[in-house]
Chain A
Amino acid sequence: MKFPWTRLRELGIVGMNQRNAEFIMPYNERRYYPLVDNKIITKQRAIARGIPVPPLYGHIELEHQTAHLHNLLASYREFVIKPANGSGGNGILVIAGKTASGQFRKANDSVISLEDIKHHMSNILSGMYSLGGDTDSAIIEYRVRHDPCFNEVSYKGVPDIRLIVFRGIPLFGMIRLPTRQSDGRANLHQGAVGAGIDFRTGRTHFGVMNSRPVSSHPDTGVPIAGIDIPRWQQMLEMAATCFELAPLGYLGVDLVLDQDQGPMMLELNARPGLAIQIANHQGLEPVLRHAQALGTIPDDPCKRVRIGCMIREKFATSPA
């Protein structure tokens, strides 16, 4: 009988303390955090690098700007409002359409008025959702409509693909599928399903929900394993390129697959969570350690993707 911590060590599971002390602190310099914490900056830098992002409709920085909100929103049927410095997917409002009476319809089919939107916006501006509680600004942007291949495994929301990019090398991936419990949000701690992605093929395998393994989507009943993610290779290359937007050695890249515009970069994360290990049934540590020991890293993102695939191949677990 071994102690559980000994077993976890053997499996190479990285804990929160280890992640902070050995990966985030040495590889992610604090001064680069604003590049990923502020979504406006991230978006601008991504556009400059040619990485597709959801187009920006408007940027509300001051309370009185909400007075003109009606004009701003008039030309868009659907859009997303989010805090520029939000954390953990909080404060995101998805408008999926308008009603005949001029009200707005949320993604979960409830109807809200312009006043409600203004209130939400002033909450964002006063810093309710921002990381440090500082005042914030609100972003209005294109609403991503996910690729039809995910129709049966997502509940009223857009699945997103989280990739861990270490020293510019994409090394781990999972897809996060919204559920009824997560209220359409692709956030694991809110109850979304996470599914690990086979790095070579881009096909999903194990699913996990609330830290417990699941084999099918809780709301649709469709099996989670075996979904082929379209344009997987392109996504890996995008993720690898994101390293150039913000020189953070340990980076979480969130991508979405839009039905019209293809893969887009949604946001970057300087403190990506550890649930990806559960979704992949594999510990991060040996893979990260191997990448740590690599000498020079090539500048070409495509080469980095190949290195990533090679490393994963090397540490492949026997198929379950």
Chain B
Amino acid sequence: MKISKISVIALVLTALAVGAVYYKHKRLGLPLQPAQQSEVWTVEAKLQFRANGGPVKVQFYIPRSPPGFIKLNEDFISSNYGLATEADGLNRQALWAVRRAKGKQVLYYRMEFVQSSDSTGPRTTPRPAYPPVPEYEEPLGSAVMALLDEVRSHSADVATFTRELLLRLNTSQPDQNISLINKSGHGSAEWVRQLVRILAGARIPARIVYVLPLQDLVKHGSLVPWIEVHNDFQWIAFNPVTGAQGFSDDVLVWRTGDDPLVTVSGGTPAEVDFSISRHALSQVSIAEQWARQTDSRLMDFSLFALPVQTQNVYRIILMVPLGALVIVLLRNLVGLATFGTFMPVLIALAFRETSLLWGVIMFTMLVILGLALRLYLEKLKLLLVPRLAAVLTIVILLIALFSIVSVQLELERGLSVALFPVVILAMTIERMSIVWEENGSQEALKLGTGSLIAAVLGYLVMTHPGLSHVVFVFPETLLIVLAITLLVGRYTGYRLLELWRFRGLIKEADKP
């Protein structure tokens, strides 16, 4: 009955932990693997203009949920300007205003974003009215009509029509009609505007979309016009120069429509410069920033809300339960005997400072030397606490000696021993010497080896990068550790070493 109660508790704990991990992984995008990095783009738009001295108002289009990206962060650097942002169904605008401004004015808009496949939904809006066929001037009109006829016969629907049209306009050997149309400058905004007019000739709703091509380390980028056509269901984007369909992942949709990007009242027209840079950021911080953007409270109550220094301490502390779990398993399932219950965990923590191999070597050597001196101290007949203090002092001197020797030998690792927890060593030596005298060297060595094995295993678990990442990002996984500990707490089966201990009884019983 008691056992089933424990199982229920363990099950609930595990379910809680798994649920929380699932939520944080799926919804917040916290990675299960360490050091997963994503590319973060930073785009900075710099607006420059001269103010006349009176009130100034600036309207500037800024991206509104660009497809294929998630916005992590945005900043408006606008000194004494008042700022408001305003969004309609299509676009978002930053509105800066100031009562009085004179001379050169610089405004910045900066945003950070990452690629995300989640946000590439179709751009559906209700179907706009079919545009009327425009009145083209001659000789353009007949060229357009001829082109449209030709394209129509080579296409099936709006998308293929547009692609076919772009293909013909972009051909390397244009015929006369095409040369005439392309006179307005291939790829320019004017040319794309004309494209919209041409498509209107086939009564296809089309519009200009301005995108920012993403390239690392661009200092003076500018927006590039693309075209979107509506196929009665959704807007389909085309790169007007290549004819490729859909927004590729190296372009950021900045705004839709053909209004001026920036309007300044009370000053000269503004120059806009885009600078773009890319850097890798761990997915953890991306998720953290994103959670902040989406107002998820979960991140506020996570360890990431702590100062970095405290976080680093928790990175170690949160692994201690795993080390304890290793001890639990080793003692109750394997039956390994160690000095003290959790002393191996402390030794394992000490190994963090030194790396494993050096830790084991130094630990062994210090214990052997300390033990020899401790056994000599026994002859002096000191009281317990002064003797412990004496051992401690000797251990520290030995460590210092160790570091000096290792510097002479140019072994850099020897220096890290300086942080080796000396009290742990002193206590280990003291306990070992008592066992040595009371129960003989064999028992002392057995316990010492057991402690060292437990410490090494504890170290390997506690410093496993994957585990330590998961435990830090998802501290609720410690509930699973708790559940396992509870279950082992009710384990009444044999320990592994007991099978060896009682082997004689089996042999005896199996005798005929």
Contact = CB atoms under 8 A, between A and B. Distances in A.
Interface of A: 4-5, 7-8, 11, 13, 15-18, 21-22, 88, 90-91, 115-116, 119, 122-123, 126-129, 189-191, 208, 211-213, 277-278, 281, 283, 320
Q: Which 6 A-B pairs have the closest CB atoms?
A: A126-B384, A119-B381, A15-B494, A18-B492, A4-B499, A90-B438
A277 B498 CA distance: 12
Nearest to A90: B438
Interface string B137-167: 0000000000000000000000000000000
A52 to B, nearest CB: 28
Contacts of B129: none
Contacts of B492: 15, 17-18, 21-22
B504 A211 contact: yes
Nearest to A18: B492
B344 to A, nearest CB: 18
Contacts of A320: 508
B495 A11 contact: no
A11 B438 contact: no
Nearest to A123: B384
A17 B332 CA distance: 7
25 contacts: A4-B506, A5-B493, A7-B509, A8-B494, A11-B506, A11-B509, A15-B498, A16-B498, A17-B491, A17-B494, A17-B495, A18-B493, A90-B439, A115-B381, A122-B384, A123-B383, A123-B384, A189-B439, A189-B443, A212-B504, A213-B508, A277-B502, A277-B505, A278-B502, A283-B505
Nearest to B3: A21
Contact of A211 (B384, B385, B495, B501): B501
Secondary structure at the B interface, as helix, strand, loop or mixed, is: helix
Interface in B438-477: 438-440, 443
Given A15-B498, A281-B505, 6 more contacts: A13-B494, A15-B493, A15-B494, A21-B491, A211-B504, A278-B504
Contacts of A91: 438
Interface in B28-81: none
Contacts of A17: 332, 491-495
Contacts of B498: 8, 13, 15-16
Contacts of A18: 492-494
B217 interface: no
B504 A190 contact: no
Contacts of A13: 494, 498, 502, 505
Contacts of A190: 439-440, 443
B63 to A, nearest CB: 63
A4 B503 contact: yes
B210 to A, nearest CB: 71
Contacts of B505: 8, 11, 13, 277-278, 281, 283
A15 B495 contact: yes
A203 B502 CA distance: 23
A20 to B, nearest CB: 8
B490 A21 contact: yes
A170 to B, nearest CB: 22
Given A5-B493, A8-B494, A190-B440, A126 B383 contact: yes
Contacts of A128: 384, 434
A116 B503 contact: no
B335 interface: yes
Contact of A127 (B335, B384, B501): B384
Nearest to A13: B502
Nearest to B511: A320
A278 B491 CA distance: 22
B2 to A, nearest CB: 9
Contacts of A8: 494, 498-499, 502, 505-506
Contacts of A281: 505, 508
A126 B381 contact: no
A11 B494 CA distance: 13
Of B385, B440, B490, chain A has the most CB atoms within 10 Å of the CB of: B440
Contacts of B493: 5, 15, 17-18
Contacts of B490: 21
Nearest to B434: A128
A11 B507 CA distance: 11
A91 B434 CA distance: 10
Given A16-B498, A17-B494, A22-B492, A126 B385 contact: yes
Contact of B504 (A5, A22, A119, A213): A213
B509 to A, nearest CB: 6
Contacts of B335: 16
Contacts of B491: 17, 21
A311 B209 CA distance: 94
A185 to B, nearest CB: 9
A278 to B, nearest CB: 6
Contacts of A122: 383-384
Contacts of B439: 88, 90, 189-190
Nearest to A115: B381
A47 B128 CA distance: 106
A192 to B, nearest CB: 12
B491 to A, nearest CB: 6
Nearest to A63: B383
Interface string B312-329: 000000000000000000
Contacts of B440: 190-191
A34 B501 CA distance: 30
Nearest to B332: A17
Contact of B506 (A7, A119, A126): A7
A22 B493 CA distance: 11
Contacts of A127: 384
Interface string B483-500: 000000011111100110
B449 to A, nearest CB: 16
Contacts of A119: 381
Contacts of A7: 506, 509-510
Contacts of A189: 439, 443
Contacts of A4: 499, 503, 506
Interface string B186-230: 000000000000000000000000000000000000000000000
Contacts of B332: 17
A8 B508 CA distance: 12
Nearest to B333: A17
Of B381, B492, B505, chain A has the most CB atoms within 10 Å of the CB of: B505
A6 to B, nearest CB: 10
Nearest to A183: B440
Nearest to B430: A128
B271 to A, nearest CB: 78
B330 to A, nearest CB: 13
B342 to A, nearest CB: 15
